[in-house]
Structure 1
C-alpha cells in the first residue's frame, strides 16, 4: 500500500512537512546530505528515549482519503499506548495546488515500541497511509519511509536527513481549499456526494432534492438581498422585518428540506460536510429563482457563510495566515446565482455572547468555537469581508432591532431601487 501511495505524489524529497505545535505550524524537510543544520524544533524537544513517527494519508480517491483521515485519529487514540502523543501534521509541495497530505506526528514515550509499531505496520500494509519512523544518530535525525512489508529497521527505502525549513509564502492548507473546503461549482460538490452513496445513504436523498442541472442564471425580475453575519447578530429578526416591510419572500440557507439530514453530515469529514452545504446553496438558488420572479427575496445566509466558516476552519494559525485579500478562494462561484446586495451584520463580541446566552438554543460545533476562540471569530469575520462578487455592505447590529431595520431599509431601497 505504501509503495502505491508514494507513486501518487511528487518526489518525496521535494515536499515540506509541517507539525502543529500549540496551534502554530512548524516546518521541516528532508535531504540526502546533511549540511550541519540544527535539528527542527519538533525533534529538539523530543525526549531522548522517545520514538517518533509520522503518518500521512494518501489515496487516489479524495473521498476515501478524507474519510480515512477523519477516522484515523480515533483509531490511533483508541489503540495506541496511553504514553503516545499525537499532533496534526501535513506534507505539501510549496505553491502546488492539491499537493497537501494530512496526517499525524506521533511521539511514543511508552516502555516498549512493539504495540505502536505493530499497529503502524498494519496500517502501512492495508490502508492508504504512509508511515515514516525517525532515528537519532549522534545529533542528527533521519527519516525512514516504510514500504509496508518492511519492519522499521530494514533498508529497502532510502533514509533522509531531517532539516529545518522556512515557512512557505502561503499557508499549506490554502493549497487544498478549492473544491475541498470551499466548492466553486455545482459539479464538484455533486461529485463528492455522489461518491458517498454507498457509505452514506442520506447522500442519495440529498441528490434527489437538487435541481436537474445548475447553471448561471440571469437575475430574477425582483431584487435578492442576502443578510449575513455570525450567529446571534440579529439576522433572523432583521430578515423577518424586511420580509414584512418590503412584501418580500423569505428563504434560508441551508434550506428547510435539508434539516432532517443536516446533523448526519455535520459528523462527516470537512470534504463531505462542505459539499453538502455547497449543494444546499444551489437548492436555495433554485428557490430564489422561482420566488424572485414574483416578489423581492430576502435570504438568511448564503454562500458567504459557507465559504467564510470553511476557510477559517481550514487555515490554522493567525489571521495573517488566511489567503490574502483578492485571492481566488474568495471569488463567488460562476454558476451560482448572485444576489443584488449582501448585508453583513457585525456585533461587539461581548454583546454577541450575551445574546447567545439569552437564546439558550443548540449551536453547531463551529458556532460554539466562535464563543470560546476569539482568533477563530476574527478569521471568520475577515473571510466575510474579503469575499468578492455581489456588492457587500457592513452594518453595525448593536442598536435595537428597529434601529437596525431603519439603517438597512434605505440602503436596500437606494441600491436595489425598491
Structure 2
C-alpha cells in the first residue's frame, strides 16, 4: 500500500510512557536503568510501506539535540511519512509495569482486537502500518506493539471512531495525540487526555530521528513471546489464558498426560519441513512406505480440533499452541521410535521459523543473525535425527495451492502475496541449528525428490 506525501497537520496516537515536557528530568528518571546522557528512554520503530524501518523518539527539548549520542541525523523519510495528506493516527498498547505474562497476554489480545477493529467500518479506506515502542536499557519483554493508521481523507468520523475505541478500552488505555509542523519545519506531537471521551490537549513532544540499533528491538523478546526455549515457559502462556480461552485448559490437560523427559527409541526420526505446498506430506508418505515407518503430524490430531480458535488469537498465544503441540508429538515420537522409524510432517522448525518471520518487521536483513540462540532447538524437546527442508520456486508453489481447491490459511495467503515474508520464513529455516535443515530441491521430478530424500536418510540415520 503506497503512502502519498502530505503537507500540514497530522494526528498520532500513542499509549505508554509519555511524560510532560516541562519536567524532562523526571521523565528520564522514570526508567531506573536509563542513562540521562543518552536522551529519551522510549524509542519507536515504524515499518514503512516499502518495508524499511523508521526509528524515532519523542523529545521534550525544543533546541538542537545533535549532541545526544542516541539521536540520529535528519531523516527525510520521517518528514515524508508524517506529512502525508490527510491525518495519521497511532495506537501503541502499553504493558502494565510488573505484570509479567499476564500483562503481555492482555496487551497482545488488545492489540490483536484493535487491528481487527481498524479493518472494519468506518476504517476501510485507511491504511495500517506496524509500530513498536521500546527502551534500549529495559529487560526483555518491555517492547510495546502499536499501530499507525493513515486516513487519507482526514475524515472527522475517523477521529470520533478512534476516540470511541479509546473510551471502550480498560485502563491503561490509549492516549490520543496530534502532531503539527511548526514554522521551522520541526514535527511536534501534542498529547490528548481522553479519560471518558474527547479531552483537553496535553503535553507536547518533538518527533526526532534516532540511530538504528544493531539488533531489531523485538529480537530480545522472542524467547518469551513466540519462540519458547522450553515447556515451562510455553505452559505459562496457556495457564494465563485458561480463564480467557477454555480450550487452553483442554490442551494443557493433554500435555499433562504425556510422559515427562521422553527419550527417542533406537529407530531414526526424520522431519519434513518447508513452506505450504512444497510437497512435504507427499514426500513424507512415500518415505514412510519405503522405510515401513510411522507417520506423525504436528500439531497432532488430538489438538487440531481447536486449531482455528488459536489461529485467531495473537501471536504469543498462537505460537504457544503450536509449541505445546510439538511436546505432545514428542511423546508420540518417543513411543513410536521404539518399534519403527518415524517420519513427521512438520515439527519445531516450522513453529519457530514462522514465528520469527511474523514478529520481526522490515526487510529480511533485520532477522536475528545466524547462530543467534533463537535458532537453537529447545532444551527439553525430543530431537530428531534428521530434518529435511523442501524448497520450491514461488510460481510452482502458488500453482499447487490453487490446484488444491481448499481454503487457504492466513499464512498461505501471506506467503502468496508477501515476497518478503516468504523470504524471511525461508531464511529462518536455513539458520536453524542443532539440528540444522538439509535442503531438498522440490522443483525436481517427484521421484527424484524421493530418491534424494531417501539418500540423505540413509547417509545420516546410521541406525537404519
TM over 0.5: yes
Alpha-carbon distance, 1:402 to partner: 2.5
Matched, 1:31 2:90: no
Aligned residues of 1:184 and 1:334 also touching (Cα < 8 A): yes
CA distance in structure 2 between the partners assigned to 1:228 and 1:102 by the alignment: 30
CA distance in structure 1 between the partners assigned to 2:237 and 2:163 by the alignment: 33
Aligned residues of 1:222 and 1:295 also touching (Cα < 8 A): yes
Partner of 2:43: 16
Partner of 2:188: 142
SS at 1:172 equivalent = coil
Alpha-carbon distance, 1:86 to partner: 4.1
Cα distance, 1:73–1:43 mapped onto 2, change above 3 Å:
farther
What runs of 5+ residues in structure 2 fail to find an aligned partner?
Answer: 1-14, 20-26, 66-72
Partner of 2:117: 75
Matched, 1:263 2:308: yes
Aligned residues of 1:56 and 1:131 also touching (Cα < 8 A): no
CA distance in structure 2 between the partners assigned to 1:403 and 1:38 by the alignment: 55
Alpha-carbon distance, 1:51 to partner: 5.2
Matched, 1:163 2:208: yes
Alpha-carbon distance, 1:28 to partner: 1.2
Alpha-carbon distance, 1:319 to partner: 1.5
Alpha-carbon distance, 1:49 to partner: 8.4
Cα shift readout 1:313-358 (whole Å, capped 9, x = no counterpart): 1122222111111111111110111101111111222222233332
Partner of 2:132: 90
Matched, 1:100 2:136: no
Alpha-carbon distance, 1:126 to partner: 3.7
Cα distance, 1:162–1:293 mapped onto 2, change above 3 Å:
same
Partner of 2:334: 289
Aligned residues of 1:3 and 1:148 also touching (Cα < 8 A): no
Greater displacement, 245-254 / 272-281:
245-254
Aligned residues of 1:228 and 1:342 also touching (Cα < 8 A): yes
SS at 1:334 equivalent = coil
CA distance in structure 1 between the partners assigned to 2:322 and 2:291 by the alignment: 28
SS at 2:305 equivalent = helix
CA distance in structure 2 between the partners assigned to 1:161 and 1:4 by the alignment: 15
Alpha-carbon distance, 1:416 to partner: 1.2
Alpha-carbon distance, 1:401 to partner: 2.7
Alpha-carbon distance, 1:201 to partner: 1.7
**What TM-score results when the alignment is normalised by the length of structure 2?**
0.80
Alpha-carbon distance, 1:285 to partner: 0.4
Alpha-carbon distance, 1:67 to partner: 0.4
Aligned residues of 1:98 and 1:176 also touching (Cα < 8 A): yes
**What TM-score results when the alignment is normalised by the length of structure 1?**
0.88
Which residue, 87, 92, 110 being the options, matches 1:56? Answer: 92
Aligned residues of 1:178 and 1:329 also touching (Cα < 8 A): yes
Cα distance, 1:241–1:145 mapped onto 2, change above 3 Å:
same
CA distance in structure 1 between the partners assigned to 2:131 and 2:301 by the alignment: 37
Cα shift readout 1:4-47 (whole Å, capped 9, x = no counterpart): 9989x847921211222213321211223231775763444445
Cα shift readout 1:191-242 (whole Å, capped 9, x = no counterpart): 1112222221221211111144775544322211111112222211221122
CA distance in structure 2 between the partners assigned to 1:218 and 1:190 by the alignment: 20
Aligned residues of 1:100 and 1:175 also touching (Cα < 8 A): no
Partner of 2:248: 203
CA distance in structure 2 between the partners assigned to 1:294 and 1:19 by the alignment: 52
SS at 2:242 equivalent = coil
Cα distance, 1:79–1:204 mapped onto 2, change above 3 Å:
same
Aligned residue pairs, count:
414
CA distance in structure 1 between the partners assigned to 2:259 and 2:77 by the alignment: 49
Aligned residues of 1:227 and 1:298 also touching (Cα < 8 A): yes
Alpha-carbon distance, 1:413 to partner: 2.0
Alpha-carbon distance, 1:280 to partner: 0.5
Cα shift readout 1:364-400 (whole Å, capped 9, x = no counterpart): 1112222222222221111111011124311112233
Which residue, 409, 428, 441 being the options, matches 1:364? Answer: 409
CA distance in structure 2 between the partners assigned to 1:293 and 1:105 by the alignment: 53
CA distance in structure 2 between the partners assigned to 1:387 and 1:130 by the alignment: 40
